Amino acid sequence: MVTYTTPLPCHELTDTIIGIYYSVLSTFSAPGGVPERAFRDVFAQRLKQAHLKVEVEKTIHLHTSILRADLVVEYLVVVELKKVARLRKEHMEQGTTYMEYGGYPVGLIFNYGQPDIRPKRLPRPSRYRKEPKKCPGSR
């Protein structure tokens, strides 16, 4: 897995999202036993309590198919939640596809089902099918 040392686009927003993720983790005695949907709902509620705009199961159109991103925060950040023993390339590609077709400048994936619960940055698409939105303060 690639480690990034540069700040994420929309870094203030992503820092807030990551902080809320850790606070949600701490509310469960065994987060790995919590179903993804229940974890997502608690996470979304906490994001809303922080006065962030959250879209749950955001519909993204891909030609004749419909994709559903777990969460989109402030129309800018795709958040994918997983509860798997190990993240695979396919999990990352799924989130990147949401970024590509939804025009989201940044994506995060959280896998709370493994010992390494640290958030991961989704790779940027090689090209966007929809012009990416701009983060506040970006050029």
- CATH code, domain carrying 100: 3.40.1350
- Bin 75: left if φ > 0, else alpha if -120 < ψ < 50, else beta: left
Residues of the domain holding 48: 11-121
Q: What is the Cα 138 distance to its own chain's centre?
A: 20
Residue written as tokens 């990352």? Answer: 92
- Domain assignment present for 46: yes
- Domain assignment present for 135: no
Exposed, middle or buried: residue 100 (CB in 10 Å: 0-12, 13-18, 19+)? buried
pLDDT in tens, the chain (139 residues): 444 455 556 889 999 999 999 999 988 877 778 899 999 999 999 999 999 999 999 999 888 889 999 999 999 999 999 999 888 999 999 999 999 999 999 999 999 888 778 899 999 998 888 888 888 766 5
The pLDDT of residue 121: 92
- Domain assignment present for 103: yes
- Domain assignment present for 134: no
Q: How many domains in the chain?
A: 1
- Domain assignment present for 128: no
- Domain assignment present for 139: no
- Domain assignment present for 131: no
Six-digit token pair at 39?
């974890």
